[in-house]
């Protein structure tokens, strides 16, 4: 039997070599379907790695408290969100005092009305991400590591010193080197600030962007420059393993501080990294479903094409089948001959699809900021699926060939 399988496999490859173009066109659908599987898995694994880096960048055991339900809603808040009272400095300080599970809190104030620019001579960075905050920022935020210089102190904050810490990309845009920015003065919306530190650019990016455009001032310096700024946000850090408790305590404390009735929803939002990951996974789930549908269509088209071309092959080789039966070939021998041919056809298409998809997956990080990975499991699954398509859609042509009457087949012209 082993000899028969090897012989059938050899016959299958002979057919592929004889009809190269026809074979290639037949398995284009299989190539697309398998390729999409490899691409989707490679991109998804890369996205997961990126998201994990983002989570670590924002800090472990942290949650963000904001007036609005999402960052997007700062630009387009709903009517209910606009009616909410802004968070205050006093609310944030009260959280730290009233919530035993909160280890630290980073209170920040923002000014969203204008586009902020920082300039040095002829160099300028537009649309920087501005905030005023306290020294606890570097302890709470995991993406606040310093590349050069230092963060500001409580004394500098209390005395409203005109100092700033900027993102690595801001420093690169204004000075020849990030380290050269430390100690230099810049113009920030018309005010002169001295750069005392440069943040190291997070590996996972800052937020969802590719550039680190942060400009961070001491809280009271920010309020001196922007006295009308009133939007506050807090990032709370729970003690290890107590983030859920810290969130519950913060929610209860804020409802009391803001006089929210027991039968009314929160007039603020608290978002943990876990919730953000779940939202991301929901989005990705929709993308995966769409990709599965696309790949399934490709595989179905490939399978139908294989079945049709195998039926044509049976017709073309009717006399050959009759000769094989006349010299002793059994029905099972004929069946396996055509099944092997169909599986070899789709398996070869699967290999080509895998090679192309893996090449694209490896190329993407070289030409973009996206991370991707090559999954051995996806490669194996893709090849198994491609061979399975040949097995499933090759059954009817194989059975039809096996049922041919040898006498009638020999008479066929």
pLDDT at 269 over 80: yes
Whether the pLDDT of residue 138 is over 60: the answer is: yes
Predicted confidence (pLDDT) per residue in 202-257, tens digit: 765 544 456 789 999 999 999 999 999 999 999 999 998 898 899 999 999 999 99
Place 370 in a pLDDT band, splitting at 50, 70 and 90: confident
pLDDT at site 113: 79
- Whether 292 shows a pLDDT value over 50: the answer reads yes
Helices and strands counted in the chain (H then E): 16, 12
Q: How many CB atoms lie within 10 A of CB 405?
A: 11
Q: In sequence order, what are the beta bridge partners of 111?
A: none
pLDDT higher at 376 or 88 = 88
pLDDT at 8 over 60: no
Of 15-24, 57-66, 77-86, 92-101, least confident by mean pLDDT is: 15-24
**Count of C-beta atoms within a 10 Å radius of residue 333:** 15
User: What pLDDT band is residue 53 in, cutting at 50, 70 and 90?
Assistant: low
Instruction: Supply 52's token pair.
Output: 């994990």
What pLDDT is recorded for position 320? 75
At 3 the pLDDT is: 42
Residues, the chain = 413
Report the sign of the C-alpha dihedral through residues 110, 114, 119, 124, in that order.
positive
What pLDDT band is residue 164 in, cutting at 50, 70 and 90?
A: very high
Query: What's the rounded Cα separation, in Å, for the pair 30 and 25?
Result: 10
**What's the mean pLDDT when you consider all of the chain?**
83
Q: Which pLDDT belongs to residue 161?
A: 96
Reported as a pLDDT band with limits 50, 70 and 90, residue 392 is confident
Report pLDDT for 31: 84
When comparing pLDDT for 73 and 128, which is higher? 128
Higher per-residue confidence, 387 vs 155: 155
Q: Is the confidence at residue 96, as pLDDT, over 70?
A: yes
Residue 104 phi, psi dihedral angles, 5° rounding? -145, 160
- Residue 251 is predicted with a pLDDT of 95
Q: Percent of the chain, pLDDT > 70? A: 83
Strands 163-166 and 191-199: parallel
The pLDDT of 298-320, averaged and rounded, is 78
At residue 364, φ and ψ (nearest 5 deg) are: -55, -50
For residue 254, the model assigns a pLDDT of: 95
User: Which pLDDT band, with edges at 50, 70 and 90, does 90 fall under?
Assistant: very high
Asked whether residue 102 carries a pLDDT value surpassing 80, the answer given is yes
Over residues 170-184, the mean pLDDT reads 91
pLDDT digits (tens, 9 = 90+) for 310-358: 777 777 777 777 777 777 777 777 777 778 788 888 888 888 889 998 9
Please tell me the predicted confidence (pLDDT) of residue 220: 97
């Amino acid at each position: 039997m082993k000899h028969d399988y090897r012989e059938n496999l050899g016959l299958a490859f002979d057919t592929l070599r004889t009809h190269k173009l026809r074979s290639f066109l037949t398995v284009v659908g299989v190539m697309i379907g398998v390729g999409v599987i490899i691409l989707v898995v490679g991109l998804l694994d890369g996205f997961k790695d990126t998201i994990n880096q983002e989570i670590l960048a924002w800090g472990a055991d942290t949650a963000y408290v904001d007036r609005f339900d999402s960052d997007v809603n700062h630009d387009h808040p709903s009517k209910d969100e606009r009616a909410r009272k802004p968070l205050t400095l006093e609310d944030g300080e009260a959280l730290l005092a009233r919530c035993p599970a909160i280890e630290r809190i980073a209170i920040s104030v923002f000014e969203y009305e204008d586009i902020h620019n920082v300039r040095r001579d002829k160099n300028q960075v537009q649309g920087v991400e501005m905030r005023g905050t306290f020294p606890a920022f570097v302890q709470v935020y995991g993406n606040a590591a310093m590349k050069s210089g230092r963060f500001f102190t409580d004394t500098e904050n209390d005395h409203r010193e005109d100092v700033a810490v900027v993102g690595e990309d801001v420093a690169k845009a204004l000075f020849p080197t990030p380290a050269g920015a430390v100690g230099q003065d810049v113009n920030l919306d018309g005010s002169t600030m001295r750069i005392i530190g440069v943040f190291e650019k997070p590996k996972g990016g800052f937020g969802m962007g590719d550039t680190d455009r942060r400009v961070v001032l001491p809280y009271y310096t920010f309020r001196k420059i922007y006295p009308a700024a009133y939007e506050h946000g807090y990032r709370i850090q729970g003690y290890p393993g107590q983030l859920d408790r810290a969130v519950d305590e913060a929610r209860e404390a804020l409802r009391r501080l803001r006089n929210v009735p027991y039968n009314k929803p929160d007039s603020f939002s608290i978002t943990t990294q876990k919730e953000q990951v779940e939202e991301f996974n929901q989005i990705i789930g929709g993308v995966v479903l769409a990709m599965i549908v696309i790949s399934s269509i490709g595989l179905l088209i490939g399978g139908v094409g294989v079945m049709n071309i195998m039926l044509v092959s049976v017709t073309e080789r009717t006399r050959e089948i009759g000769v094989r039966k006349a010299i002793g070939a059994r029905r099972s021998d004929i069946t396996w001959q055509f099944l092997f041919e169909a599986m070899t056809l789709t398996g070869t298409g699967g290999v080509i699809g895998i090679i192309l998809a893996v090449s694209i997956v490896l190329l993407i990080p070289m030409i973009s900021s996206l991370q991707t990975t090559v999954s051995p499991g996806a490669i194996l699954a893709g090849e198994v699926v491609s061979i399975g398509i040949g097995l499933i859609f090759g059954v009817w042509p194989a059975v039809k060939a096996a049922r041919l009457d040898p006498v009638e087949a020999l008479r066929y012209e």
